[in-house]
Structure 1
Amino acid sequence: MRIAIHAVGRLKAGPERDLADRYLDRAGKSGRALGVSAVTVREVAESRAARADARKDEEAAALLADLPDGALVLAFDERGEAIDSGRFAALLDGARGRAVPAAVFLIGGADGHGPAALARADHRIAFGRLTVPHQIVRILAAEQIYRALTILSGHPYHRA
């Protein structure tokens, strides 16, 4: 199984990118023993449309482009379900057990997700009810992917 984050916007060089990259690297190494062949990020450009609904539509189309056939799609959305790390790991484990070829996490832009992205998502996940900048969501997503893989492998990183 491959794991990918499709995110609107680019993380510039600096501490945010370094931290996200650190967790993604750890996830890639931890995932090998679980049959995870890759953990990647695909960045898409922020829309320049004048209206928020048009921006969300354009960004949703870009996020959904090139989805692997049969992928599990999870959208990070402030109106989604707030789950714990164990449930997050269980979603990945369930996909792995069903031989799903990929799990793709969607991170929208500043306006959130367009209807097409939300409709395609198999699950909507919230990091609580706070509004969080999408750059920070990418770091949280990378860390939770790493945490989920350590939970599944029995590594002591997760101390719940």
Structure 2
Amino acid sequence: MRVHLCAVGRLRTGPERALIDDYTTRFDRSGRALSLGPLTEHEVEDKRGGGMAAEAELLARAVPAGAVLVTLDERGALVTSPEFAAMLTRWRDDGRQDLAFVIGGADGIDPGLRARADASLSFGKMVWPHMLVRVMLCEQLYRAASILAGAPYHRA
């Protein structure tokens, strides 16, 4: 199952980029044997200033047809890492070929796009900068692959 990270904004060189690249490499390596990955990033930018609706349109275009659509949203479900790993397994075993995680811009995700999502996840009740959400998602994808592989990375 191919994994897509669809996000508003361009991430330049810096500590967040280094962390994302590291966790993406780890996920791709460990997920391959589990039929998870590769992880591909799709960055969109609303240069015309159309707000959430314009961002939603760009994000929707970045999501592959037929993909499981998961929004990262402060109103989403709070799940444990093993529960997240189980979700990935369920979608993969259901024969889904693509899984797309959507991260909105500064104003969040347009309600229309949020309503279309198969699932919505939260990294807590606090609002996180979208660049850190990317890092946390990549780490959790790697952690999920480690859990599924029985590797010692996750120690809960």
Q: CA deviation at 1:38?
A: 1.3
Q: CA deviation at 1:159?
A: 0.6
Matches within 5 A, 1:47-66: 47-49=47-49, 54-66=50-62
Q: How far apart, CA to CA, are the structure 2 residues paired with 1:82 and 1:37?
A: 23
The alignment's C-alpha RMSD in Å is 1.2
Q: Which moved more, 1:100-109 or 1:57-66?
A: 57-66
Q: How far apart, CA to CA, are the structure 2 residues paired with 1:145 and 1:77?
A: 17
Q: Which residue of 1 aligns with 2:28?
A: 28
Percentage of pairs with the same residue: 46
Q: Which residue of 2 aligns with 1:42?
A: 42
CA contact (8 A) 2:6 2:62 kept: no
Q: 2:138 aligned with 1:112, yes or no?
A: no
**Shift >6 Å, 4+ stretches:** none
Q: CA deviation at 1:71?
A: 1.1
Q: Which residue of 1 aligns with 2:86?
A: 90
Which residues of structure 1 form unaligned runs of 5+? none
Any idea what SS the aligned residue of 1:149 has? helix
Any idea what SS the aligned residue of 2:125 has? coil
Q: Which residue of 1 aligns with 2:154?
A: 158
Task: Give TM-score scaled by structure 1 length.
Answer: 0.93
Task: Give TM-score scaled by structure 2 length.
Answer: 0.95
Q: How many residues align?
A: 156
